[in-house]
């Protein structure tokens, strides 16, 4: 059987995107496999994985918007801008109000300039930024232009605020969280992050890695979790592969 198409994975926390790919390589009879967008180890949610000849479509996922739900903690900033990092600064969050956060969120809707986190896979002179950061080396990184289509605060129980954002590909939620903190004059970092969708692909359609293992253990040679190439092309509005 031609195992070419897309697999929607609901990534668990505390593993890397490459860990997901490595497990799928072990489980599936495929030579080519790759994801269409990295998720941080802290993050959970939708990963779109392409297999076989469908890997040729990876570039087209770069134009797709993404939706995230994320929680920030006010009063602390970390070197990684998330709770996996080391606290580098603290501040008083007692004066931050719901309305202030809502106004801050509204100020970021539209096209903005954003600096990627120093702990990220963005390349500088051929090497990812995190390699420089781990060695304590500062680099002069240029900001990138991204688009925040919507940014809504869902809940606020100090020091935690929950947001949902629809953003263009390439947007860093960790950087967005820091910027929200800067606007309300309070440091902040991400404590949870979940990707809900990539274009028309949604996490509700995704499969857990453990469920996939069970499918294959039951000799699911039809690969019922695989989105075939024709269906994938229709969802991407392309006619041929």
Q: pLDDT tens for residues 204-213?
A: 999 998 888 8
| Mean per-residue pLDDT of the chain | 91
**Residue in 2, 10, 19, 40 annotated catalytic:** 40
The confidence score (pLDDT) of residue 220 equals 62
Examine the residue annotation and report whether 40 is marked as an active-site residue of this protein.
yes
Q: What pLDDT, on the 0 to 100 scale, is given for residue 83?
A: 96
pLDDT at 11: 97
Domain boundaries, the chain: 5-64+199-236, 67-194
Mean pLDDT of 138-152: 93
Per CATH, 5-64+199-236 and 67-194 having the same topology is answered yes
The CB density around residue 149, as the number of other CB atoms within 10 Å, is: 14
pTM, two decimals, is 0.92
One of 3.30.1330.60, 3.30.420.40, 3.40.50.300, 3.30.2350.10 is the CATH number of 67-194, namely: 3.30.2350.10
- Fold annotation for 5-64+199-236: Pseudouridine synthase (3.30.2350)
Q: What is the pLDDT of residue 235?
A: 84
Q: Which residues contact 159 (CB under 8 A, 6 or more apart)?
A: 73, 74, 75, 93
Query: What distances in angstroms separate CA 20 from CA 24, 42, 63, 208, one per listed residue?
Result: 6, 14, 23, 10
Span 59-107, pLDDT tens digits:
888 889 999 999 999 999 999 999 999 999 999 999 999 999 999 999 9
């Amino acid at each position: 059987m031609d195992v070419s198409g897309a697999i929607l994975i609901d990534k668990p926390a505390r593993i890397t995107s490459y860990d997901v790919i490595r497990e799928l390589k072990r489980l599936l009879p495929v030579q080519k496999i790759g994801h269409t967008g990295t998720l941080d180890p802290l993050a959970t949610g939708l990963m779109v994985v392409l297999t076989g000849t469908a890997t040729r479509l990876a570039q087209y996922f770069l134009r797709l918007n993404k939706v995230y739900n994320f929680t920030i903690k006010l009063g602390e900033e970390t070197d990684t801008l998330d709770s996996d990092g080391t606290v580098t600064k603290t501040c008083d969050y007692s004066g931050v109000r719901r309305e202030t956060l809502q106004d801050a969120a509204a100020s970021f809707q539209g096209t903005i300039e954003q600096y990627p986190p120093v702990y990220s896979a963005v390349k500088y002179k051929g090497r990812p930024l995190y390699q420089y950061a781990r060695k304590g080396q500062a680099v002069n990184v240029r900001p990138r232009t991204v688009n925040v289509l919507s940014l809504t605060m869902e809940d606020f129980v100090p020091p935690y605020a929950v947001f949902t954002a629809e953003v263009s590909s390439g947007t860093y939620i960790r950087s967005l969280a820091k910027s929200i903190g800067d606007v309300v004059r309070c440091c902040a970092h991400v404590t949870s992050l979940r990707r809900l969708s990539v274009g028309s692909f949604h996490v509700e359609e995704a499969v857990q890695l453990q469920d996939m293992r069970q499918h294959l253990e039951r000799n699911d040679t039809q690969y019922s979790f695989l989105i075939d190439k024709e269906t994938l092309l229709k969802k991407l509005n392309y006619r041929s592969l």
